[in-house]
Amino acid sequence: MHMNLHELIRTPGSRLSFHRELSADRLAFPAILSYTEPPSGDGEITNNADILTLRGRIRAAMRCRCDRCAREFDKTLDLPVEARLATELEDEDDPDYYLLRGDELDIDDLLESVFILSMDQQMLCWEDCRGLCPRCGADLNEGDCGCRPESDPRLAVLGQLLDDIDQTF
Ligand SMILES: [Zn+2]
Ligand SMILES: [Zn+2]
């Protein structure tokens, strides 16, 4: 949706609040199985001495699949958003500003971009998820599977010695 900022741009000291329901279809990611609460953005845009700033939060609740262990888990997202808006820029690619088209702000595009950037990081069921054993596929969060870690060939001889000792006892 496009918001018309005509009045805001011409009235220093003014503010305009927004609430947007974002498109779950456009925010589809392999790690997100479904949204239990659709993504939405709330906040306001202020004109402070002709500097336009958008501040708000993006919220969503979703069912996810862990990138490391494939376990399903629920996650709530509460993401702060802060962006400076400009009606014109010398460098259109200036990452510090979001460029308006005339007096129009494509608010959904701005909020979706912030959301998409936040999906850069791995989706983990918990910070220290141990993932799956590369050998037997066991979920290492449930405990050790007993596989020996991949060993350095120089240590393989030692591994063999240890196996022999195991068998001796
Ligand atoms: Zn996990
Ligand atoms: Zn294993």
Q: How confident is the model at residue 169 (pLDDT cuts 50, 70, 90)?
A: low
pTM, whole model, 2 decimals?
0.79
Note whether 24 and 38 are within 8 A (CB). yes
Helix residue ranges per DSSP H, the chain: 6-10, 107-118, 153-168
Strands (E), the chain: 2-4, 15-21, 32-48, 51-65, 72-86, 97-99, 104-106
99 C-alpha to ligand 2 centroid (Å): 52
pLDDT greater than 80 at residue 5: yes
67 C-alpha to ligand 2 centroid (Å): 18
Question: Which ligand has the nearest atom to the CA of 143?
Answer: 2
Question: Which ligand has the nearest atom to the CA of 122?
Answer: 1
Q: How confident is the model at residue 47 (pLDDT cuts 50, 70, 90)?
A: very high
Phi, psi of 109 (to 5 degrees): -65, -45
Q: What is the pLDDT of residues 74-133, one digit of tens each?
A: 999 999 999 999 988 888 788 889 999 999 999 999 999 999 999 888 899 999 999 999
| CA nearest to 83, candidates 121, 117, 123 | 117
Please list, in sequence order, all residues whose beta carbon lies within 8 angstroms of the beta carbon of residue 69, skipping any fewer than 6 positions away: 125, 129, 130, 131, 132, 139, 140, 141
**For tokens 């990081």, what's the residue?**
121
Note whether 44 and 64 are within 8 A (CB). no
Q: What is the DSSP letter of 147?
A: P
Ion ligand 2 residue ranges (Cβ < 5 Å): 133, 135-136, 138, 145, 147
pLDDT score for 161: 67
Please state the domain extents for the chain.
2-118, 134-169
Q: What is the pLDDT of residues 18-27, one digit of tens each?
A: 999 999 999 9
Q: Which three-class secondary structure state does DSSP give residue 6?
A: helix
Distance from C-alpha of 80 to C-alpha of 70, rounded to nearest angstrom: 27
